[in-house]
Structure 1
Amino acid sequence: MKNLNKNIRDLPQEDHPHSESVLEDFFIHSLKEMYYTECEIDKEFALITNQIISLNLKKILENHYAILLKHKIRLEKIFRLKDEIIDVKNCITFNALLSEGKKQLAVFTNDPVNWEIALILVAQKLAHYKIASYGGLAHLAIKLNYHKAATLLAVSAQEEEEFIANHLNRIFDAFLASHVEEYKN
């Protein structure tokens, strides 16, 4: 991470900002942010799992939790492939998304149905962040000739995409349909 904390203008000529070593540092930095992201989601899920009333939603999110654990294992494998210490790096972007999600959930503290709808939306936002991050890291890994890492990262991005398409979108539609019917009656 030696170059990420420096202003680009301050870098010596041989450390041109487009050099392989700067990309390498950026890659490792970003892996640590993703590991942080997965660890934070792990903690937050443990805090909310008992508040989920819908058995279907709970099952979907528990299945996704198992996928999250696979993502962590894949990241750890990439760290080992790179001979890097498995470590986290605080991710300001993810923290902002998580903070906003908590605020949105707090609006519905005493309204379990709407709380669960908000939870689905928060989960979608976090999954989209992970898709973008894992996808971008997979492309960067290809650029750096880390093809095994690229494959592992691409699989994580694909799992997130499938989670949204096959589970979150479907349950969100079901929640909204039933919720709208309540207002009609």
Structure 2
Amino acid sequence: MGLFSKDIQTMDDLFVHQLRDIYYAENKIVKSLPKMIDKATDPQLKADFTGHLTETKNHIVRLEEVFRLHGVEAKSVTCPAIDGIIDEAEEVAGEVADKQVLDAALVAAAQAVEHYEMTRYGTLVAWARQLGRPDCASILEKTLAEEKNADSKLTKLAESKVNLRAAE
């Protein structure tokens, strides 16, 4: 279903489509994070990725709760945006031989994912409120806060040591 598909006629349809998009993305992220954990060499980066894997699994559970509350089936629609972000990350990681530079590349890739997620969750929170669904909005806000926190941790890690080591 494309963005301007006949299947999207109302704001509610758009909300559900976006839920299914981020549901696909979160499931894809759960599959790709273990590869990033394996490739990371910085212990803090590995730990942050591992912690975020657990969080991401909880994001999926929360999305399933939003689907349930909203009375629609929890299912995915393909998200070409996250596919592209993850494909690019895997391609770049495969090309970097220097482990310090690889860690910097992994942080950048993870932040691209986080920024995508933040835009999606921010939009979903706003739409849930507009649709009179404060119950759904409050669940989505928890995930949005965790995505922002993950991005902040990555920025601090990059600026305090990962990028410095990569530049040496």
Q: TM-score, normalised by structure 1?
A: 0.83
Map 1:47-58; keep pairs closer than 5 Å: 47-58=35-46
Unaligned runs of 5+ in 2: none
- The answer on whether the counterparts of 1:4 and 1:25 sit within 8 Å (CA) in structure 2 is no
Q: Distance in 1 between matches of 2:23 and 2:75?
A: 7
- Residue 123 of structure 1: how far off its partner (Å): 0.4
* Partner residue, 1:27: 15
**2: distance between equivalents of 1:81 and 1:63?**
27
1:118, 1:50 → 2: CA distance?
14
Q: Deviation of residue 41 (structure 1)?
A: 0.5
RMSD: 1.9
Mapping for residues 42-121 of structure 1, pairs under 5 Å: 42-108=30-96, 110-121=97-108
Counterpart check, 1:150 vs 2:116 = no
Question: Does the residue aligned with 2:10 lie in a helix, a strand or coil?
Answer: helix
Q: How far did residue 102 of structure 1 move? A: 2.0
- Return closer, same or farther for 1:98/1:179 CA change in 2, 3 Å cut-off: closer
Bigger relative contact order, structure 1 or 2 (CA pairs below 8 A, ≥6 apart) = 2
SS at match of 2:66: helix
Asked if structure 2 preserves the Cα contact closer than 8 Å seen for 1:32 and 1:87, the reply is yes
What residue ranges of structure 1 are gaps of 5+ in the alignment?
Answer: 8-16
Q: Considering only CA atoms, is the larger Rg found in Structure 1 or Structure 2?
A: 1
Displacement of 1:148: 0.8
In structure 2, the CA distance between the partners of 1:38 and 1:32, relative to structure 1 (3 Å rule), is: same
The amino acid across from 1:5 in the alignment is: S
Contact preservation (8 Å) 2:32, 2:86:
no
Paired residue for 2:124, among 121, 126, 137?
137
Residue 162 of structure 1 and its aligned partner are, at CA, apart by 1.4
Q: TM-score, normalised by structure 2?
A: 0.91
Q: CA deviation at 1:85?
A: 1.4
- How far did 1:4 drift? 5.1
**Identity within the alignment, %:** 25
Aligned counterpart, 1:5: 5
Q: Give how far 1:141 is off.
A: 0.4
The whole-number CA distance in structure 2 between the counterparts of 1:5 and 1:80 is 24
2:82 and 2:145 map into 1 onto residues whose CA distance is: 19
How many residues were matched structurally? 166
